[in-house]
Amino acid sequence: MAEKAILYDATKCTACRGCQVACKQWNENDEVIPTEENGVASKNWGSYENPPDLSPTTWLKMRFTEIEAGGKVRWLFTRQACMHCTDAGCVRVCPNGSLYHHELGFVAYNKDTCTGCGYCIDACPFDVPRSTRNIITGIAKMDKCTFCTTPGLDRIAEGWEPACVKTCPTGALKYGDRDDLVAEGKKRVQTLQTAGWTNANLYGENELGGLHVLYVLDDSPAIYGLPVSPQISAATIAWKDAIQPVGWAVGGLTIVGLGMNWLVARANAKKEAK
């Protein structure tokens, strides 16, 4: 089955933020949940960006970057959301498989089994996952873009495109087979370079094994606030490949030891009772 992806063309985006609204509406995300912490309130804070950051109830946000070039000022618009990496740090460190790769390639998420450990937050090179703790129950949960596959709200299973793509009025967002979108993105980059945008590039084709959210940019990823060479940290790799297995082994040995201790104690109790 062909892997699916989203292609975002920053040069066609007007930052109308229709994608933000569609994401919230479809996924039934209010801006601030009264019983939880860490929501980011929607308010005027001196910028066109609103809200100011991703949060457990804002899974997609348009970032505005103002730059000066050739004596002129212009806006660069960056889509902030899960990049759905093939080599995903969040999937690597998730201790119980709540984060996993969907059969179509992107990173899916089972919130019901999330323990709120927060390892995924530290492992993401794009600073995307956000966590909240219910002030009544004390239970913590992580939230991020699910590629519109949240149970009960699964657009992909119905054969529909993600809500953000559906609502985009300029065609800056497209959904389809990843290979087709890579080819389309490269063609668009070539057109931009021919038109004089010599730094135009396709971001995400190879980064972290290939992203399932691809970006057509007319300038360096760094100018758009994206890591030029995103990497999974050494600490994440160590946690998955060394520390976590040792932890499971120690935990297993502890359980075995407790079991043996109980058996010995039970045997001794029987002897004393005779």
Domain check: are 11 and 75 in the same one? yes
65: in domain: yes
101 close to 88: Cβ distance less than 8 angstroms: yes
Domain check: are 123 and 244 in the same one? no
Domain check: are 169 and 239 in the same one? no
Domain check: are 75 and 17 in the same one? yes
**CATH assignment at residue 211:** 3.30.70.20
Model pLDDT, residue 48:
80
Model pLDDT, residue 36:
45
Model pLDDT, residue 94:
94
Model pLDDT, residue 268:
58
The pTM score is 0.83
Domain check: are 24 and 115 in the same one? yes
Model pLDDT, residue 259:
56
Domain check: are 208 and 161 in the same one? yes
125: in domain: yes
98: in domain: yes
Model pLDDT, residue 120:
94
154: in domain: yes
Is cis: bond before 95, omega within 30 of 0? no
226: in domain: no
Domain check: are 193 and 97 in the same one? yes
Last residue of a domain, one of 187, 217, 247: 217
Domain check: are 99 and 147 in the same one? yes
Domain extent, residue 205, equals 4-217
CA distance linking residue 23 with residue 27, whole number of Å: 6
| Residue listed under structure tokens 């794009």 | 126
Domain check: are 168 and 238 in the same one? no
Domain check: are 70 and 170 in the same one? yes
Model pLDDT, residue 90:
96
Please measure the distance between the N-terminal and C-terminal CA atoms of the chain and give it in whole angstroms.
68
81: in domain: yes
Q: How much is the CA Rg of the chain, to the nearest whole Å?
A: 23
Q: Residue 189: left (phi > 0), alpha (psi -120 to 50), or beta?
A: alpha
One pLDDT digit (tens) per residue for the chain, 274 residues = 799 999 999 999 999 999 999 999 999 997 655 444 455 666 676 778 888 889 999 999 999 999 988 888 999 999 999 999 999 999 999 999 999 999 999 999 999 999 999 999 999 999 999 998 887 888 899 999 999 999 999 999 999 999 999 999 999 999 999 999 999 999 999 999 999 999 999 999 999 999 999 999 999 999 999 999 999 887 777 756 656 565 554 455 556 555 566 555 555 555 666 5
Domain check: are 144 and 264 in the same one? no
122: in domain: yes
Q: How many domains are contained in the chain?
A: 2
CA distance linking residue 218 with residue 199, whole number of Å: 6
Domain check: are 57 and 126 in the same one? yes
Model pLDDT, residue 242:
59
15: in domain: yes
Model pLDDT, residue 233:
80
- In one-letter notation, the amino acid at residue 235 is A
